Amino acid sequence: MANKVSDNIRKLRQKKGMSQDRLSKEADLALNTIVKIETGENPNPTVETLEKIAKALGVSVADLFKD
């Protein structure tokens, strides 16, 4: 499950042409947080973190979990 979320975040971010740095700024999160989530180093981001990322990407939290 965690890998699916990290893959989806990376794909959605790249699809929008955003860098990890820009996503971190838009989501008001540390760059390190984005990097750790995308690499799977942080397999359990909080709901609040996922909400911020989803909002910055213009998608729903549910979209981060889709296959």
Domains of the chain, by residue range, sit at 2-65
Task: Tell me which residue of 8, 21, 17 sits closest to 54, measured CA to CA.
Answer: 8
CA 64 to CA 51: how far, in whole Å? 10
Residue 45 phi, psi (nearest 5): -65, 150
Res. 3: pLDDT tops 90? no
Write the DSSP symbol of residue 40. T
- Whether 18 and 53 have beta carbons less than 8 Å apart is answered as no
Cα 19 → chain centroid:
11
> How does pLDDT run across 4-54, given as a tens digit for each residue?
999 999 999 999 999 999 999 999 999 999 999 999 999 889 999 999 999
The domain made up of 2-65 has a fold known as 434 Repressor (Amino-terminal Domain) (1.10.260)
